[in-house]
Amino acid sequence: MLIPLLVALAMTAVSFTLVGRRLLMLYRIGRAAQPVEPGRVGGGRRLAAALRAELVEVLSQRRVVRWTGPGVAHAAVFWGFLILLLTLVERYGALFQRDFALPVIGRWAVVGFLEDLAVVAVLAAVATFGVIRWRRSPSREGRASRFFGSHNEAARFTLAMICVEMVTLLLYRAAQVATGYFPYPDGAFVSEWLGGLLEPLGSDVLDVLEPVAILLSLGVLLAFLVFVVHSKHLHILLAPINVALARRPRALGALLPVHSGGKPVDFDDPGEDDLMGRGKIEDFTWKGLLDFATCVECGRCQSECPAWNTGKPLSPKLLVMALRDHALAKAPVLLAGSDAERAALPADVLAEAERPLVAAPADGGVVDPEALWACTTCGACVEQCPVDIEHVDHVVDLRRHQMLFESEFPSEAGVALRNLEHAGDPWGGGASHRMDWAADLPFPVRVLGEDGEERLPDDVEYLFWVGCAGAFDETAQRTARAVAELLHRADVSFMVLGEAETCCGDTARRMGNEFLFRELARANIETMDAAGVRKIVVTCAHCLNTLGNEYPQFGGSYEVVHHTELLARLVADGRLTPTERVDATVAYHDACYLGRHNGIYDPPREVLATVPGVRLVELPRNRERSFCCGAGGARMWMDETTGTRINVDRTDEALALSPDLITAACPFCIVMLTDGVGTRRQQGAAAEHVEVTDVAQVLLRSTANSQAAGSQEVEP
C-alpha cells in the first residue's frame, strides 16, 4: 500500500493547500470589514447560547426539518456525513495498515451497520433532492420557484459528486469484504452484499481494486472540499460558525443601534469618520460578510417574502447573494497592500470596486433601491433561514446610509418623516388632536397632567399607550375605544399620556432615520420616566416592539403588554365575561410584529375562542409563516406600484375562507386589510358583508351587556 499511501498524502496536501489559501483569503476579507458590535462574541452567556444553538439548530436540524420533504433529506445528508466521518479515518488507516480498525469501536457490528445505513440514507436523500429540484426548477415554475436565481448548475454538480463519493465508498468497502480485510464481521449489510458480488473477481483483481477504490473515494472527497470552499457550499463549513454567532434568541424584534468601529454611534457627538449604516461592502461587520458567505441559496426566504411573492424586485436570497458576490469580486481591491498593487489589478476588478452599493441596475448598483425600499421588515426571511442570516438588520443598515448619508429615499416617505418631525406623528394630526379618539366614550379617560398630577397616581395600574394610529386613524380609533371600554368594564385602572405622547419611532427607525427615532424615543422615555410608568398596555404591534424591545437600548425599561394578552388574562380571570353570541366565521391574521417578532400567537386566538358563536378559521399562511399585510418597515407610508399589492394578496387569502369578519390585532394590519377588502369590493368581488376589525372589538360586542366583575389586580 506504499504507492497508494503516497498518492493519498499528495492529494491531501494539494487539496489542503488550495482550501487553506481560500480560507485565508476569506479570513482576510473579514479582517478588512468592520468589527462586530459588543456582546456578539465572548462571555459565558454568549458561549452557552452558542452551544445551545449548535445543539438545537445545527445538530438537530430543527429549522430545516420544518420543510418536511427537503428538510428530512437535508437532515439525512447532514447526519449521514457525520457518521461517515468514521469511514474517512478508516480509509486513511487502511492505507497505513490494511486490516486497520477504529480503536475501541472499530469491529463493532453496530458501527458497520450505521455506516452502511448512512450511505443508503445519503443516496436516498440525493435522489429526493434531484426530484425536488427537477419538479421545482425555475424552468418549470419560473419566478415562483424558490431556486429562481440560485446557482442551480453548481447544486446539480454537488449532488452528482455526493453520488460518486457514496458509490466509490461502497466499492472500497465491498472490496475489503471480498479480500477479508473489512473490519466489521457483520452488520454492514450493503457492503457485505456487494462484497459477495465482487468475490468471483479473484484476489489479484481485488487487491488492486481495494486501494484504487480508496483513492477514488478520497480523491472525490478532497476535490469536493476544494469545490466547497469556492462555491455556495461553503455553508457546510460556515453554517455552524454563523449559527454560533447569530443574535439570540433571533435577529427579530429589536433592531440594533447604529454601530461604527464596533461601538454604538454617539448621535449627540458623532465622530467625523463614524459610519451611518452601510454604504460600501466593507462597511458591513465581518459577521455581516459571514452571513452573506453562509447563504445556502435554498430560497426558503425568497418563497416566504411578501415583496418577492407580489412581483417586487426584492428577494432576500438574491440580496444576500448579490452582496456576497460583490464582496468576493471586490476582494482583491480590499486586500491589496498598496496603491501600486491596487492599480495593477485587472480592469474588471477595479470596475467592480467602483460599483455603488445601492443604485439602479442601469447605474451598476449592487442593490436596486426599489428592492431595498420594498422590504416590509416582516422577518419571514429571518424566521425561515436555516443558517440564521440576519436579513432585516442588513436591509435597515443599508437604508440608514441612504437616509442619513445620501438623503436618498422614496419621496412619499419624506411626507411621513416631515410629519413626524413637526407634528410628532406620521399622520400629521398634531398633539392637540391626540385625544379625539376618546371624545365619544361614555366615561372619562384619565389623562396624565389633566388634574395637575405629574406622576401616575398609585391607583393607576397601566399606562394605556394609544399610539399614533389609535389617535389619528379612524379604524384604529375604534380599536382604542374598544380597548378602553373593555378595561373600564373590567375595572382595570389606566391613564393615557394625551398630548404628551409622541410617535414611538418605529416608522423612523425602519426607514433608517435613526437620528429621528432617537429623538422620539428619548422624548417618550423622559415623559414616562418622569411619570413613574412601569406597566404599559398597547394596541399596536409596532408600538409593542418598539417600547418593549427597543426602548431598553435607551434606558427605558417597562413591562409592555399587548392588549390581546391583557384581554385574554381578564377573560380567564373572570373579569370580562363574553356572553353575547357573535355568530360569525372569523379569520385571524397574524401581524408580523406581534407574531414573528414577538412570539404572540395564542392570546388573540384565545380571546376569539371565548366569544360564543365565533367560528375561528385559520388562514393557510398562519403563525410564524404568516404573510405580511404590507405595512411594516414603514411601507405603510410608501407607494406600491410594482407587481400586485401585498395587502390585496393577503386579503384574497382571507376572503377565500368566506369569513364574515377578518380580524387582526394591529392597527396597521387593519388599515391594510380594510383597504384590501375595499379594493375587492370595488372590483365586484363578493366581499360586501365582510368586515375587518380588531380582536378587541369582537370581544366588546360579546360583552356588551355583561357586567364587569371584581376589581382585583390583574396578574402580570
Judged by the rule CB under 6 A, the positions of this chain that interact with ligand SF4 are 295-301, 304-307, 314, 316-317, 320, 375-381, 384-387, 389, 391-392
Smaller CB separation from ligand SF4, 22 or 151: 151
Crossing angle of helices 347-354/316-335, nearest 10°?
120
Q: Which is nearer to ligand SF4, 315 or 674 (CB)?
A: 315
- Pure H helices in 448-513: 467-472, 474-489, 506-511
HSE toward the beta carbon, residue 452, CA cutoff 13 A: 0
Q: How far apart are CA 589 and CA 585, in angstroms?
A: 13
Cβ burial, residue 97 (10 Å; 0-12/13-18/19+): exposed
CB of 300 to ligand SF4, least distance (A): 4
333, 287 contact by CB (below 8 A): no
The least distance separating ligand SF4 from the CB of residue 441, rounded to whole angstroms, comes to: 37
Residue 257 has what DSSP assignment?
P
- The DSSP call for residue 709 is -
Eight-class DSSP state of 619: -
Number of C-beta neighbours around residue 636 at 10 A: 22
Which C-beta is closer to ligand SF4: that of 15 or that of 376?
376
Q: How far is the CB of 110 from ligand SF4 (least distance, A)?
A: 35
Grid-cell match 370595488, residue found: 682
In the complex, least distance from residue 392 CB atom to ligand SF4, rounded to whole angstroms: 5
Q: How far is the CB of 378 from ligand SF4 (least distance, A)?
A: 4
Least distance between ligand SF4 and beta carbon 329 (Å):
19
Answer positive or negative: Cα dihedral of 223, 224, 226, 231.
Answer: positive
> What is each CA distance from 495 to 141, 438, 459, 465, 476, in whole angstroms?
55, 12, 10, 9, 18
| Nearest CB to ligand SF4, comparing residues 37 and 304 | 304
Which CB, 101 or 295, lies closer to ligand SF4?
Answer: 295
Nearer to ligand SF4, 295 or 511 (CB): 295
Cα separation of 229 and 21, whole Å?
10
Chain centroid offset of residue 126 CA: 27
Minimum Å gap between C-beta 382 and ligand SF4 is 7
Nearer to ligand SF4, 321 or 714 (CB): 321
- For ligand SF4, which is the closer residue by CB, 374 or 417? 374
Please, are residues 402 and 280 in contact by the beta-carbon 8 Å criterion?
no
Shortest separation between residue 238's beta carbon and ligand SF4, angstroms: 11
Q: Which is nearer to ligand SF4, 371 or 687 (CB)?
A: 371
Grid cell for residue 262: 464596533
| Nearest distance, CB of residue 646 and ligand SF4, angstroms | 9
> What HEC string does 23-79 produce?
HHHHHHHHHHCECCCCCCCCCHHHHHHHHHHHHHHHHCCHHHHCCHHHHHHHHHHHH
Q: In terms of CB distance, is 90 or 304 closer to ligand SF4?
A: 304
In angstroms, the CA 320 to CA 318 distance is 5
Q: How far apart are CA 660 and CA 205, in angstroms?
A: 77
Closer residue to ligand SF4, CB minimum distance, 300 or 478:
300
For residue 299, the minimal CB distance to ligand SF4 (Å) is 5
Decide: 662 and 475 in contact? Cβ < 8 Å: no
Q: Are 175 and 198 in contact (CB under 8 A)?
A: yes
Minimum Å gap between C-beta 319 and ligand SF4 is: 7
* Residue 383 Cβ vs ligand SF4, minimum distance, rounded to whole Å: 8
If we measure between CA atoms, which residue out of 237, 308, 239, 226 comes closest to residue 20? 226
Say if CB 471 and CB 420 are below 8 A apart.
no
Those residues whose C-beta lies under 8 Å from the C-beta of residue 500, and which sit 6 or more positions away, are 431, 448, 449, 527
CB of 154 to ligand SF4, least distance (A): 14
The C-alpha atoms of residue 379 and residue 592 are separated, in whole angstroms, by: 7
- Return the number of the residue (188 or 318) whose C-beta is nearest ligand SF4: 318
Least separation in angstroms between CB 296 and ligand SF4? 4
C-alpha cell at 407: 438623503
Q: Which is nearer to ligand SF4, 387 or 438 (CB)?
A: 387
**Least spacing, CB of residue 387 vs ligand SF4, in Å:** 5
Encode burial over 302-322: b for 16+ CB neighbours within 10 A, e otherwise: bbbbbbbbbebbbbbbbbbbb
- Please tell me whether residue 638 adopts helix, strand or coil conformation: coil
Angle between helices 152-179 and 68-96 (to 10 degrees): 40
173 vs 650, beta carbon nearer ligand SF4: 650
Q: Are 648 and 676 in contact (CB under 8 A)?
A: yes
- Name the minimum Å distance from CB 327 to ligand SF4: 15
Query: Which residue in 533, 521, 526, 524 sits closest to 455, CA to CA?
Result: 533
Judged by beta carbon, residue 305 or residue 483, the one nearer ligand SF4 is 305
Q: 175 or 380, CB closer to ligand SF4? A: 380
